[in-house]
Amino acid sequence: MGVALFYHLTGSLSCLDGSVFFLERDGRPAGGAVRSRGASLRVADAAGVHSVTGVSVFPGGLKACGAAGRLPEVLLLCTNPDQLLPLLDPCVQVLERAHQEGDLREESIPLPALVLCANGIYFQRVRQVFIEKLEEATLLGRLPDLWPGLMPRIVGRLMRGVTIQTGVREGNGPDALYRPGPPGLTRLAGGEVALRRRVHEVLSRGGGMFELAEGSSPTRVEFDKGMVNLVANLLGQLVAIDSHGGFTPLSVGQVVERVGEAGVRELVGRVLEVGKGVRAYDVREDLERVTGATLENLRRHADHIPSSLQWLDLKLRRGEPVAGLAPTETWLLEPLLHYARSAGLAGAEEYLVGLRRELEAKLQQVARSRPPTPPPPRP
């Protein structure tokens, strides 16, 4: 997803002037690996394979960019959802450095607008953890008292970017080949209103597709996209794995055909029930309208292979063990189950638990039918 967004924001790589770049992630500096090996990011499109390299595109991590006075105005966080919370630490550390240097002021917060683009239902959790980390830094004397002025301004820099941008990665590490999908819509929600509109303005200058989700909460747009993801990825794996553990990668269109409209409607209905229970949707929201919108979204990407099916296919081709759900399903099912229990929705909880158990059983079948490749012997 991140490479695909980069591709479109740079006009299909026609404008590599350093205004759009990658930041390394602590603990796994993929960009650093590219730079240290003298290699390049390989991107394929209809014109061929392109190589992207250079310090202007891979300048380092967030803290390094802050120290160099090169913080981006907008930062799109495109990691897996289970990698989001650790990314908050360098954000807090950038603010701590600014405080030490006397540059932390209400009118000028030295931190990019943070747009959470990973799949999942997590915005409220990430926001709460961010506040907790900021308050811990205050307790340790690394930040001043942030209430009532600074805290809302800082936390208001956090917003949701629910995206349908697609892309395919072939291989792994610096030798991977990325194939961006066509421009996909990213809906911006949450955060400070004026800042969100500024983010929309900045991002819309490139070749991507961005829209302000005015009137919708971050959780509402997460639920909307979550329905699409659950059909394509979770139900997709259920219909892609046969009764003997055999796996066939399917496109979104093939998934919808095998699941059927009735199966899509059942899933959408249960998720909508949970969404109404936590006030993400109005109680009068119509099931048929939401189901229709979900099917329309899925059919627009009929040729795309869902990310979790790509994930499973890659593991099998590399002989890696298949253990547990993919991050997309985990960060959708766990919040939904939490909300269902909190709202007392026993039927929705039973349905979601049943889906999880069915998928776990299917993945165990796959694991039994294809044991992982043993590591090569030591020399």
**pLDDT band with cut points at 50, 70 and 90 for residue 377:** low
Q: DSSP string covering 149-199, please?
A: THHHHHHTTEEEEEE---EEEESSGGG-EEEE-S--EEEEESS-HHHHHHH
Least confident of 124-138, 223-237, 296-310, 361-375: 361-375
Structure confidence at residue 92 (pLDDT) = 97
3-state SS of 346-377? HHHHHHHHHHHHHHHHHHHHHHHHCCCCCCCC
Q: Quote the pLDDT of residue 170.
A: 83
- Residue 80 has what pLDDT? 85
Write down the domain spans for the chain.
2-216, 219-368
Question: What's the sign of the alpha-carbon dihedral 357, 363, 366, 370?
Answer: negative
Q: Which CATH superfamily is domain 219-368 in?
A: N-(1-d-carboxylethyl)-l-norvaline Dehydrogenase; domain 2 (1.10.1040.10)
In one-letter notation, the amino acid at residue 172 is: N
DSSP assignment of 84-152 equals TGGGHHHHHHHHHHHHHTT--BTTB--S-EEEE-SSSS-HHHHHHHHHHHHHHHHHTTSS---TTTHHH
Strand order from edge to edge, sheet including 158-163: 74-77, 113-116, 158-163, 185-189, 209-212
User: Taking all residues of the chain, what is their mean pLDDT, rounded to a whole number?
Assistant: 91
pLDDT class of 311 with cuts at 50, 70, 90: confident
The band of 373, judged by pLDDT with boundaries at 50, 70 and 90, is low
**% of the chain at pLDDT higher than 70:** 94
Mean of the pLDDT values across residues 331-343?
96
- Residue-level length of the chain: 379
pLDDT score at 37? 46
Using DSSP's 3-state secondary structure scheme, residue 247 falls into: strand
pLDDT tens string 10-59: 999 999 998 999 998 865 544 455 544 455 799 999 999 999 988 789 88
Phi, psi of 46 (to 5 degrees): -60, -25
69 has a pLDDT exceeding 80 = yes
Whether omega before 148 lies within 30 degrees of 0, making that bond cis, reads yes
Looking at the structure, give the CATH architecture of the domain made up of residues 2-216. 3-Layer(aba) Sandwich (3.40)
**pLDDT value of residue 372:** 55
Bridge partners of 44? 49
How do residues 248-265 score in pLDDT, each as one tens digit? 999 999 999 999 999 999
- Which of 171-180, 324-333, 335-344 shows the lowest mean pLDDT across its residues? 171-180
What pLDDT does residue 270 have? Answer: 98
pLDDT per residue as tens digits for the range 152-196: 999 999 999 999 898 888 877 778 899 998 898 999 999 999 999
Nearest to 267 by CA among 258, 255, 259, 279: 259
Q: What is the pLDDT of residues 1-21, one digit of tens each?
A: 899 999 999 999 999 998 999
Does residue 321 or residue 289 have the better pLDDT?
Answer: 289
**Spatial distance between the Cα atoms of 136 and 130, rounded to a whole number of angstroms:** 10
Beta bridge partners of 247: 241
